[in-house]
Amino acid sequence: MIELKDVTISFDGQVILDRLSLSIKDGEFVYLVGATGAGKSSLLRLLYMDLKPESGTVGVLDYDSVTTRASEIPHLRRKLGIVFQDFKLLEDRDVFENVAFALYVTNARRSDIKKRVFHALSDVGVSHKRNQMPHELSGGEQQRVVIARALVNTPSLLLADEPTGNLDPGASAEIMELIRKINMRGTAVLMATHNYELVRKYPARVIQLKDGKLVDIEIK
Ligand SMILES: Nc1ncnc2c1ncn2[C@@H]1O[C@H](COP(=O)(O)OP(=O)(O)O)[C@@H](O)[C@H]1O
Ligand SMILES: [Mg+2]
């Protein structure tokens, strides 16, 4: 699913990831923790190939950083679910269109798209908001729409970068329940987070980024 070997990246001469290796199996749930600036977002960017390693190799699904051409990266991204802290919804489109958007490029039939979008929105509990604009929704509802958008292509891997970072504790717990439900159906999850309370409440494998290296840790 994910295989990083001896990956190094640096910005402005400063090494951020230092010959880092990581392996994540099909269906696994993994938390990625580490201080602000440790390189969590950069590690996730490597995985959706928004960043190339300076040395070492990154393998995600059937793609690898050595042979994947730029023109193939959109194909990879369509097979991943990607969720950010700051939602990144299209502000000038309603909820339905935000989720449908990812399907238009796939040449799916309109009737099929409609069915899949309704299904994804119901799945995350916001189908009644389908004709509303993002700014009319609460943060928790917006994040549900983002998750619906991530799910609509039935990804085998979900990458989440501090998905609860902008939410209150109640909404955070709901989003966490959703992500766990998705994992339970077989989607592997790699989730960067600061929220140790959630990690304690929903235990899973935890990896920590520190000084450019990854270590498996236990959160007590
Ligand atoms: N595009 C970039 N250009 C320059 N420096 C960057 C860039 N992206 C990240 N950095 C730096 O790399 C370090 C790791 O950043 P990041 O991956 O965002 O960490 P985290 O997500 O753990 O907070 C930080 O010091 C950050 O300032
Ligand atoms: Mg970050």
Task: Return the closest-CA partner of residue 121 out of 92, 142, 90.
Answer: 142
Q: Is the pLDDT of residue 219 over 90?
A: no
What atom of ligand 1 comes closest to residue 44's alpha carbon?
17
User: Which pLDDT band holds residue 108 (cuts at 50, 70, 90)?
Assistant: confident
Tell me the pairing of strands 55-60 and 2-11.
Answer: antiparallel
CA angle 111, 109, 153 (to 5 degrees): 95
User: Which pLDDT band holds residue 202 (cuts at 50, 70, 90)?
Assistant: very high
Q: Identify whether the C-beta of residue 187 lies closer than 8 Å to the C-beta of residue 181.
A: no
Residues 6+ apart with CB under 8 A from 23: 2, 3, 4
CA of 113 to the centre of ligand 1 (A): 37
Residues 6+ apart with CB under 8 A from 184: none
Ligand 1 pocket list (CB less than 6 A): 11-12, 16, 34, 36-42
Task: Please state the pTM of the whole predicted model.
Answer: 0.95
Ligand 1 pocket test target in 31, 36, 41, 42 with most atoms within 8 Å of CB: 42
Question: Tens digits of per-residue pLDDT, 148-173?
Answer: 999 998 999 999 999 999 999 999 99
For 88, counting Cβ atoms within 10 Å of its Cβ (0-12 exposed, 13-18 middle, 19+ buried), the class is middle
Q: Identify whether the C-beta of residue 42 lies closer than 8 Å to the C-beta of residue 52.
A: no
Question: Tens digits of per-residue pLDDT, 116-152?
Answer: 999 999 999 999 999 999 999 999 999 999 999 999 9
What atom of ligand 1 comes closest to residue 209's alpha carbon?
22
The span from the CA of 166 to the CA of 94, in Å, is 21
